[in-house]
Amino acid sequence: MEYSSRSIEKKWQEYWKQNRSFEPSTDFSKEKKYILSMFPFPSGRLHMGHVRNYSISDAFARHYRQQGLNVLHPIGFDSFGMPAENAAIKNGSHPKGWTYDNIDYMKNEFYALGFSFSREREMATSDELYTKFEQSFIIDMYEKGLLYRKKGMLNWCPHDQTVLANEQVVDGCCWRCDTPIVKKDMNQYYFKITQYSDELLGDLSKLEAGWPKQVLTMQENWIGKSNGLEFDLHFDEASKAKLSAAFERFDVFTTRPDTIYGVSYTALAPEHDIVTYMCENKLLSQESIAEITAMKNTSSIDRQKEKKGLSLGLDVIHPLTGAKIPVWIANFVLMDYGSGAVMAVPAHDERDFDFAKKYDLPINAVIKPLEGELDINAAFTEVGILFNSAAFDGMNSKESQSHVIDYFEANKIGKRTTNYKLKDWGVSRQRYWGAPIPFIHCDSCGLVMEKKENLPIALPEDIEITGEGNPLDKHPTFKHCKCPKCGADATRETDTMDTFVESSWYFLRFCADASNWESEAFSKEQIAYWMGVDHYIGGIEHAILHLLYARFFTKVFRDLGYINFDEPFDKLLTQGMVLKDGSKMSKSKGNTVDPDAIIEKYGADTARLFILFAAPPTQELEWNDSGVEGAHKFIKRFYDRSSNIVATQTIPLIAHATLNKEEKFARKKVYEALTRANDVFAERYTFNTMIAGVMEAMNALNTQNNSDVWSEGYWILTSIMEPVIPHVAWEISEKYFSCNNLSVQKVLEEVFVEESIMLGVSINGKRRAEIEVAADESEANIIQIAKDAAAKWLEDAVIVKEIVVPKKLVNIVIKG
């Protein structure tokens, strides 16, 4: 029978659905595997990146099911977010309708690809039931002091009309629409992720075995811990007088306390309080104030182009020498790191050096190289020997650091401090299509939490989306409510949550049996059984944001007593991008390949086979039409040659010794493929080599016509390939084996035993001949046979050394 992807795939998709084949068991005594791929945003249709993502996770899920494990392989949709609103503005659709239509369409695509998701645990984060529990968690976090509201300078995207977290600002532009962001002063809710900075950093070491190094490094850099010295710089009397005693000192942080004697000026950020005070009280010239205002309004990218600054006409006292040090403003000093003020050591810091050169400030060297002369035309930033540093003279600069800090601490003029680049996570968004923040503003009670029994605070559906401002603000009733505390008229918070909040705990929700979804988010017992996620698969683009937030939520939930582990994802696999013609598939480049069209033309199995065969999962994958043809050809041949099988209910028992050479070779190749497949699933994840092994075995089976060898071969190969090409595998397996082979297969060592083996013969490391020897041939005989085979190269030569590498080669070292 001719291979027809359409009828076979339809048949099995229907069968799996009818038989609830992929629902996890609630029997918690069984060994489990939780296989999770990052859930998609319902943008409309699947793209090849999705197909790759879910083909990988599905291969794991199906493999573990064959092993008899209880497998959770769920799917959901990260369905809140701006694109739904943007589509609404563009097409006049409703965000909800647009979202759920897309979900329906994409679900059909998933099942047309044969992915073995649990249908019963499907959900979308915009479901009211999901919002209900999320709002409840938000209230818990607020009560724990992990959520707070404050006024601050925020990243504002003028195009999307919303606030962005620091993590969502890419090169000074909005991560979604690429519009340059501006700073805006407004109220915003924050998660206190910084309270967990140290743990988020420290626990990365627990992930070393299961996470790619690259991701660990990215998170480490993002958290950005640095240790150093913090101390106060006091103004001199004249400066204090100038400031009308409003300020007596300011705080600075340095990671280079060893350079303390080289401080020759200090610099404040243009946004610093002292600067603001001086501007407001006209303590600076009109010209200077204008310059400062211009600095503040310059985007962070432009600020980096050129160092600029000006003198404030103030002086502070050096804490150790008592010398007067001028105070400047510098555009490279960041207000949101440390205290927004730095001590400047131009001799040993490149930025300070450039600034000092430009404004002709003194440069005081205090460290000289370990060897050679100090070059005074550049900042010397390496480790060296201290000089001009009073009691610390002669010390190694690196080693002196803690001595300097000790001295500051002993004299109570400074202290050891740690600083982080990580900032608190701003989570409120001025958008409609998100989970409402369940808070109420009351004139007399202030900020009040909604009562839990009133959750969810659901989004009203009768809204008008114009693209300007937040539709919830303009809604006739949503905003108006009673204060849960005093009962007076109050206003409901109209900000909604960043969609990263939803994706920070969805993997916990999946652990809950859908039958309990109404009453609880998840149960402790369910979480204890299913978590952590054994394999988490997704794109590298989530290396920082999503993965950091999910780790943060896990720790918070632990501290709230919901769960009792520290890290959610045991193993992380970051898949490479899908490229076409050398660049990432994207609509704007017009180089996309529509999965639907591939399924239509070749079938789901072909798409899955190609995508897993073309490259290892972590590497980029170049789409190649003739490669797809090749994958399709293999499936056709795989299906076609199955006619060589004799139907059987158990694996055929074969007397290996009675077989001919080709038959033995075929069996060996089959079991080699099995060994490799086991290894691939256990640790290497290189499905391309697993598939290549199966292809080799097929080629070897083809050279013989023993029907038992064919049957045994297919019994095993079909089992190996089921995770990759499930439809055709089940079809063959049902027809000949009643699906009995879709289970753990045992490796038979006997097929690897060989009577004779081939050895390469090298002379001085150069391959010269090949010999066939008995498997148990003595080393002396092997050397003799090798010498005979390579006699031509050994004439007139003196043999220096003879090396036999068992089962591999013989190397003879000669002279002359």
Partner RNA sequence: GCGGAUGUGGUGAAAUUGGUAUACACGCCAGACUUAGGAUCUGGUGCCGUAAGGUGUGGAGGUUCAAGUCCUCUCAUCCGCACCA
Tokens 């943007």 belong to which residue? 86
User: Minimum Å distance from CB 173 to RNA?
Assistant: 11
Q: Which is nearer to RNA, 104 or 770 (CB)?
A: 770
- Per CB under 7 A, 627 contacts RNA: yes
Query: For residue 725, what is the DSSP state?
Result: S
- Per CB under 7 A, 624 contacts RNA: yes
- Per CB under 7 A, 630 contacts RNA: yes
- Residues 6 or more apart whose Cβ sits within 8 Å of residue 563: 508, 524, 527, 528, 531, 554, 557
Q: Which is nearer to RNA, 63 or 132 (CB)?
A: 63
- Per CB under 7 A, 449 contacts RNA: no
- Per CB under 7 A, 805 contacts RNA: yes
* Token code pair at residue 64: 């573990």
Please, which of residues 344-373 interact with RNA by CB under 7 A?
349, 351
User: Minimum Å distance from CB 763 to RNA?
Assistant: 9
> What span, in angstroms and rounded, lies between the C-alpha atoms of 808 and 788?
18
SS3 assignment, position 157:
strand
767, 775, 781, 788: which one binds RNA (CB under 7 A) = 767
The values of phi and psi at residue 320, to 5°, are -105, -40
Rounded to whole angstroms, the maximal C-alpha distance in the chain is 109
User: Minimum Å distance from CB 237 to RNA?
Assistant: 27
**Which residues are 538's β-sheet partners?**
574
Per CB under 7 A, the segment of 406-414, 520-528, 671-679, 721-729 that binds RNA is: 671-679
- Per CB under 7 A, 323 contacts RNA: no
- Per CB under 7 A, 214 contacts RNA: yes
Per CB under 7 A, the segment of 34-42, 59-67, 325-333, 448-456 that binds RNA is: 325-333
> What span, in angstroms and rounded, lies between the C-alpha atoms of 85 and 333?
38
Per CB under 7 A, the segment of 32-40, 129-137, 517-525, 801-809 that binds RNA is: 801-809
> What span, in angstroms and rounded, lies between the C-alpha atoms of 47 and 37?
15
In terms of phi and psi (left: phi > 0; alpha: psi -120 to 50; beta: otherwise), the region of 20 is: left
- Per CB under 7 A, 621 contacts RNA: yes
Omega cis (within 30) before 152 = no
- Per CB under 7 A, 419 contacts RNA: yes
Please, which of residues 14-73 interact with RNA by CB under 7 A?
none
Number of residues that bind RNA (CB under 7 A): 87
- Per CB under 7 A, 689 contacts RNA: yes
* Token code pair at residue 12: 């099995």
- Per CB under 7 A, 192 contacts RNA: no
* Token code pair at residue 461: 């559906």
- Per CB under 7 A, 300 contacts RNA: yes
254, 266, 504, 648: which one binds RNA (CB under 7 A) = 254
Per CB under 7 A, the segment of 137-145, 508-516, 656-664, 689-697 that binds RNA is: 689-697
Per CB under 7 A, the segment of 45-53, 312-320, 513-521, 760-768 that binds RNA is: 760-768
540, 593, 739, 797: which one binds RNA (CB under 7 A) = 540
232, 636, 652, 783: which one binds RNA (CB under 7 A) = 636
702, 739, 748, 797: which one binds RNA (CB under 7 A) = 702
User: Minimum Å distance from CB 633 to RNA?
Assistant: 4
- Per CB under 7 A, 334 contacts RNA: yes
Evaluate whether 491 touches 472 at the Cβ level (below 8 Å).
no
User: Minimum Å distance from CB 157 to RNA?
Assistant: 16
Evaluate whether 759 touches 810 at the Cβ level (below 8 Å).
yes
End-to-end CA distance of the chain: 66
Whole-angstrom CA distances from 784 to 397, 766, 802 are 65, 18, 10
- Per CB under 7 A, 528 contacts RNA: no
Evaluate whether 591 touches 47 at the Cβ level (below 8 Å).
no
Q: Which is nearer to RNA, 196 or 222 (CB)?
A: 222
243, 514, 692, 748: which one binds RNA (CB under 7 A) = 692
> What span, in angstroms and rounded, lies between the C-alpha atoms of 277 and 244?
11
32, 107, 234, 637: which one binds RNA (CB under 7 A) = 637
> What span, in angstroms and rounded, lies between the C-alpha atoms of 521 and 790?
74
Q: Which is nearer to RNA, 523 or 624 (CB)?
A: 624
Q: Output b/e per residue, 385-421; b: 16+ Cβ within 10 A.
A: bbeebeebeebebeebbeebbebbeeeeebeebebbe
- Per CB under 7 A, 759 contacts RNA: yes
Instruction: Name the strands in the sheet holding 578-580, side by side, starting at the edge strand that comes first in the sequence.
Output: 583-584, 578-580, 621-622
- Per CB under 7 A, 222 contacts RNA: yes
**What sign does the CA torsion over 267, 270, 271, 276 have?**
positive
- Per CB under 7 A, 686 contacts RNA: yes
Per CB under 7 A, the segment of 3-11, 232-240, 479-487, 761-769 that binds RNA is: 761-769
